[in-house]
Amino acid sequence: MTIRWHCIAFDSFPPLILYDVLRLRSEVFVVEQNCVYQDIDRQDPDAYHLLGYNEAGELAAYARLFDAGKCYTEASIGRVIVAPAFRQYGLGRELMRQALLHSDTLFGPQPNKIGAQQHLEAFYNGFGYEQCGPMYVEDGIPHIPMRRA
C-alpha cells in the first residue's frame, strides 16, 4: 500500500480534509474507544497536521505536531491515529516515523514529549520514548507521560 504524506498548518486546511480529520478522530477516539470527551480542544490551530492518504484518497493515518511550548516545554506529537481499516499494514510505525521526521524538519531536532495511552508504552519505547512521570487517567483511559531525548 502506498501512502502519500502531507503536513499542513491548520489555517491551510481545505474543508473536506478538515472533515476527514474530524471524522476519523471521532470514529476512533470517541466511538471506538467509547470515550465521551471534547476532541475539538482549541489546540488544532497551534498544530501542524500530518495526514497519510492511500491511493483511493482515504485518510488512513493522522497525527498532530506541536512545537516546544505549545503543549509541553518540549515539542510534542499527539492524536496519533490509524483508521481501523488500515491497521493490519503496520501503518502506526510508519506514521510515527513520519511524525518524528516532520517534527524535526519543522521545529529542529529536540526532545519530544507525549501523553501516551498506557497500553501503548512498548510501541512508543520502540521510538526511543521513556516514561517520565506517573500514570494518570485522562478521559477514563490510563495514560503515561513519555519523553524522547
Domains of the chain: 4-108 (3.40.630.30)
* pLDDT score, position 88: 92
User: Cα angle at 3 between 5 and 6, to 5 degrees?
Assistant: 10
By CB neighbour count within 10 A (0-12 exposed, 13-18 middle, 19+ buried), where does 124 fall?
buried
Q: What CA–CA distance (Å, rounded) separates 55 from 51?
A: 13
pLDDT values of the chain reduced to their tens digit, one per residue, 149 residues: 899 999 999 999 999 999 999 999 999 999 999 888 888 999 999 999 999 999 999 999 999 999 999 999 999 999 999 999 999 999 999 999 999 999 999 999 999 999 999 999 999 999 999 999 999 999 889 999 999 99
* pLDDT score, position 37: 84
- The alpha-helical segments, DSSP class H, found in 11-81 are 15-25
- Is residue 117 classed as helix, strand or coil in its secondary structure? strand
Q: What CA–CA distance (Å, rounded) separates 32 from 13?
A: 25
* pLDDT score, position 130: 98
DSSP 8-state assignment for residue 133: S
Decide: 58 and 73 in contact? Cβ < 8 Å. no
Helix (H) / strand (E) element for 122: namely helix 121-125
Q: Residue written as cell 524535526?
A: 104
